[in-house]
Structure 1
Amino acid sequence: MSTATARSAPPVVLLFPGQGAQHPRMAAGLYRHEPVFTAWMDRAFELFGADGSWLRAEWLAPEPSPMYHDVSVAQPLLYAVNHALGRMVLDWGVRPVALLGHSVGEMAAATLAGVLELADGIGLMTDRVAEFAATPPGGMLAVSASVEEVADVLRAGVHLAAVNAPRQLLLAGEREPLDRAARALTEREVVCRDVFARQAFHSPVVEQAVAATLPGWRAVRLREPRLKLYSAYTQGVLSAETARDPVFWARQAAETVYFAPTLTALLAEHGDCVLVEAGPGTSLSVLGRRQPSVVRGGGRVLPVLPNRHRGDQADQDATAAARRELLALSSPIPTA
């Protein structure tokens, strides 16, 4: 006769990626297969109003249009997909100890934490698209180097957009100075590549657009988080006061994302965690595996999707495997 002994489930952290993580048909294999995910995606497209049908078409198209990586498509779809995947994981019974998002992923995390309603988030996203689409042509550059090693190119229109790991950065700027920086870095054998972005997010280039979106943020009700929410801008737990500050939220698009130090602080507080990437791709899972505590064998990293769309069945298999593993971690241990 066997019995089962209870065991404490490891703490779970939900991670949500941002600009650059989008790819054609991201998570589309779950649409009309996972009921919770489908319901929230349909709700998002409904809230997008007249833009909803073409955004859905862009998302489900087998081949992306030339506009797919523009703010007008990438940002709304990332917000909607991140949010719907988060709802799906929460519906599995997962009770995360914390949420952490990267760039627009923080807005999705805030929605799941109750800081703002999805309808308000969709409205703000629509405002953002209109303003940011008119910013000067620019982009973002992923660089395998430390901040110190790129200090000399962080001038003349090139800015530090994100610190994703000690030697993994994002730079942003208008197209010409960014291309100039890329050539200079390549000449000294620093690995760099363009990110899928047509705007210079997280840089002063978008300051005017940020100012234009502030009235929208001031018009919505912002609340204290119901779930613990870490911010990659404050590099710690988001306080109730900051969560209710519209200026804080509006300015995010022009501020540096400090993802690596924020995740380090989160793991220092919560110990060995299961880092669940509830978003398209595996970019944050890769960063999570580079965390010193994870490298030492503390905790684990669990993406809910493949690194890119490999067919609907691959999406479904990855999600089913993630669900099984998460449920197994909290199940009783059979004993003889």
Structure 2
Amino acid sequence: MPSVALLLPGAGAQYPAMAYGLYRYEPAFTTAMDTVLELLGQAGERLYRLWSSGARLRTVAEVHPLLFAVCHALSETVRDRGLRPGAVLGQSVGELVAAVQTGVLPLTDAVRLVAVQADALAGAPAGGALAVAAAPPAVSPFLRGGTVVAAANGPGQTIVSGSEFGLAATRRALEGAGLTWMRVQVPAGLHGPLVTEACLDTLPAFEASVYTAPHTPLLSGCAGGRPEPERAVDPEFWALQPARPVLLDAALGQLATVGALLCAEVGPGHGLAVQARRHGHRAVSLLDGCVGAPHEERDRLRQALDSLLLGDPGDRPDNKPTARVAWLRPPGGGSA
């Protein structure tokens, strides 16, 4: 069987009823979803009602646990098909899924931690994020009001986060410079100082878990690649990730060091697969932002898994807007 690199996304990849078309039709997916939702207790019951009704996810307390569950369930579906993960790369909340998939954390601990983390982040000062169609050095001069670079995704995309006041001032500065921007559908000022205090509050919960060295190569968006062995088992490294910038471009650059792998974005969107292809990796997204009838998600998943089993994910257009990112001004001279 081909070896596959699992790419696990974070907030911004979600959409209403994401992957619900697979539930009760894909046994491995259904079992894994049920397990996570049951571990979440009453919160899991509420999340199931939101998920099955197609309601929009509005808070971190909704987005993070449900996105974690979907990405974990899709990862288990990949394994159920006989595909062997040769590496796992996590971004934002996808890092905790990566911790499970590489054996750093048991699922029970990871579910507990994602719930604690989501509740803490939901209480952080209000904020949001923008995607800018430029590299960080070109964006930094136009940051205003405490807004910071939250993610370096590639030469053509930088994510900035901050308060709504800071984002509004930054938007005006970007427009004055002729830079294209988009609003990212994240419910907090993640990967910046707005959430640092909330992350510190979760540290005791992270310190209560036991960490094991990864049995599969682990790449971290926070670390910008493979974390040092001692860092991979450090509770503080995991607890503070939502407040640290995501160095996705650097992490994808290191992916080649673990071998020539096929890449599968194991989540609802296709943003990580797009960036992986820009690094020369062969990549496919399991659902590709498939917002439509439930059978379309099932068809898309089966096509993607078949292409991975054949060892040829093929090429897909990488410039279409997704359901999670809304254009707030015309693309003009570029796209993010």
* Global fold match (TM > 0.5): yes
| Aligned: 1:124 with 2:113 | yes
Task: Note the C-alpha offset of 1:62.
Answer: 2.8
1:237 is paired with a residue whose SS is: coil
C-alpha distance after superposition, 1:13-69 (max 9, x if no partner): 1101111001011111110010011001011110111111110111121342xxx13
CA distance in 2, matches of 1:283, 1:146: 16
Partner SS for 1:181: helix
CA distance in 1, matches of 2:32, 2:20: 13
Q: TM-score, normalised by structure 2?
A: 0.89
Aligned to 2:268: 280
Q: 1:149: which partner in 2?
A: 138
Given the superposition, is the C-alpha separation of residues 271 and 125 from structure 1 closer, same or farther in structure 2, using an over 3 Å criterion?
closer
The aligned counterpart of 1:221 is 210
Two-structure CA RMSD over aligned residues (Å): 1.5
Any idea what SS the aligned residue of 1:202 has? coil
Give me the whole-angstrom Cα distance separating, in 1, the residues matched to 2:152 and 2:53: 32
Task: Kindly report structure 1 stretches of 4+ aligned residues shifted beyond 3 Å.
Answer: none
AA in 1 matched with 2:204: P
Equivalent in the alignment of 2:19: 27
In 2, are the aligned partners of 1:218 and 1:246 still within 8 Å (CA)?
Answer: yes
CA contact (8 A) 1:115 1:223 kept: yes
Paired with 2:193 and 2:183, the residues of 1 have a C-alpha distance of 19
**In 1: Cα distance, 2:206 partner to 2:198 partner:** 13
Percent sequence identity over aligned pairs? 38
Who is 2:168 aligned against? 179
1:316 corresponds to: 298
Q: What whole-Å deviation, never above 9, does each CA across 1:233-269 have from its counterpart, x for those lacking one?
A: 22222333212100100110110100111101112x1
SS in 1 for 2:151: strand
- Within a 5 Å distance, the mapping from 1:4-15 to structure 2 comes to 11-15=3-7
**In the aligned structure 1, how far is the partner of 2:232 from the partner of 2:259?**
25
Asked if structure 1 preserves the Cα contact closer than 8 Å seen for 2:152 and 2:159, the reply is: yes
Give me the TM-score of the superposition, normalised by structure 1: 0.89
Q: Which residue of 1 aligns with 2:178?
A: 189
Determine the C-alpha separation between the residues in 1 that align with 2:143 and 2:243.
15
Q: Is the 8 A contact 1:23 1:308 kept in 2?
A: no
Partner of 1:100: 89
Deviation at 1:191, TM superposition (A): 0.8
CA offset at residue 153 of structure 1?
A: 2.8
**1:328 corresponds to 2:296:** no
**What is the alpha-carbon distance in structure 1 between the residues aligned to residue 72 and residue 232 of structure 2?**
18
**What is the CA–CA distance in structure 2 between the aligned matches of 1:256 and 1:62, rounded to whole Å?**
31
Distance, in Å, in 1 between the alignment partners of 2:177 and 2:53 is 40
* Number of equivalenced pairs: 312
SS in 1 for 2:160: strand
Does structure 1 conserve the Cα–Cα contact (< 8 Å) formed by 2:217 and 2:258?
Answer: no
How far, CA to CA, are the matches of 2:290 and 2:237 in structure 1?
A: 32
